[in-house]
Amino acid sequence: MRTIIKGREPKALETYRLSPGATFSNLPKEVKKQIRIQLVEEQRGLCCYCQSRIRADRNGLKIEHWQSQSEDKFPERQLDYTNLLGACLGGQKHGKKSPRQTHHCDTAKDDADICFSVCDPAHPIERKIRFLGNGTIKAEDVAIDEALNAVLNLNLPLLVNNRRAVLEAFQQRLQKGRRVDPARELPKWDGGKPGELPEFAQVVVYWLRKKQARVAV
């Protein structure tokens, strides 16, 4: 996960939100399309939670409500753009059932609450999580660690293996004798350069920043 800087809501959403009786369930297709496009741009092409690839269509992205829009939760935030995120399909495929144990991200979260936000620059989520060499994601804070595992299922073997593969591929460059300057390499992975980020980029960012810290000592 990485901190997402939210932009201004799409004009199409603002217009619809201010119309009488507007609800998320009745969101016009064109409005939903504009939301998806902006979410993908803001998130640099990555799922808000696991950092797998997302695309701006119904088969490549789910519009996630950080605070649930359910009637007994936060229905007043159903059209609040600051509450909307782009999530991967989380182990689901449209029109097909999948085992619950394979669900992750928004699909696993469902209506549950999580104790952190990925859109809070004042409290960057990157400072609260760490990655092990085997691809596992962890947090020292017990509540956050519980959310990572029990709510979002981010240590699903598929995701752990994907993170490990990305890190190992990066490390293989070093084994081939290519020296890596973290200061030059980081912008390719942490959003310092424009465009889409590589999938599971944060695991490499974490590794590079640890390398920087060791050099600085």
pLDDT at 95: 58
* Structural domain boundaries enclosing 57: 11-216
Cβ-Cβ contacts under 8 Å for 178 (sequence gap 6 or more):
none
Question: Is position 173 within any domain?
Answer: yes
Residue 20 identity (one-letter amino acid):
P
Q: Do the Cβ atoms of 138 and 24 come closer than 8 Å? A: no
Q: Which helix (H) or strand (E) holds 121?
A: none
Q: What is each CA distance from 211 to 62, 178, 200, in whole angstroms?
A: 35, 15, 18
Q: Can you list the alpha helix ranges (DSSP code H) found in 43-116?
A: 105-109
Question: Is position 1 within any domain?
Answer: no
Q: Can you list the alpha helix ranges (DSSP code H) found in the chain?
A: 11-17, 29-42, 105-109, 142-146, 157-175, 182-190, 201-216
Question: Is position 3 within any domain?
Answer: no
Instruction: Say how many domains are in the chain.
Output: 1
For 126-142, how does the pLDDT look when each residue is reduced to its tens digit (9 = 90+)?
Answer: 999 999 999 999 999 99
SS3 of 65, please? strand
Report the residue count for the chain: 217
**Model confidence pTM above 0.75:** yes
Question: Is position 5 within any domain?
Answer: no
Q: Please list the pLDDT of the chain residue by residue as tens digits (217 residues).
A: 999 999 999 999 999 999 999 999 999 999 999 999 999 999 999 999 999 999 999 899 999 999 999 999 999 999 999 999 999 999 987 657 788 889 999 999 999 999 999 999 999 999 999 999 999 999 999 999 999 999 999 999 999 999 999 999 998 877 776 677 888 889 999 999 999 999 999 999 999 999 888 766 5
Residue 107 identity (one-letter amino acid):
T
Question: Is position 158 within any domain?
Answer: yes
The CA radius of gyration of the chain, in Å to the nearest whole number, is 18
Taking CB atoms within 8 Å and a gap of at least 24, the contacts of 144-147 are 144/115, 144/116, 147/114, 147/115, 147/116
Question: Is position 6 within any domain?
Answer: no
pLDDT at 94: 62
Q: Which two tokens stand for residue 53?
A: 């690839």
Question: Is position 2 within any domain?
Answer: no
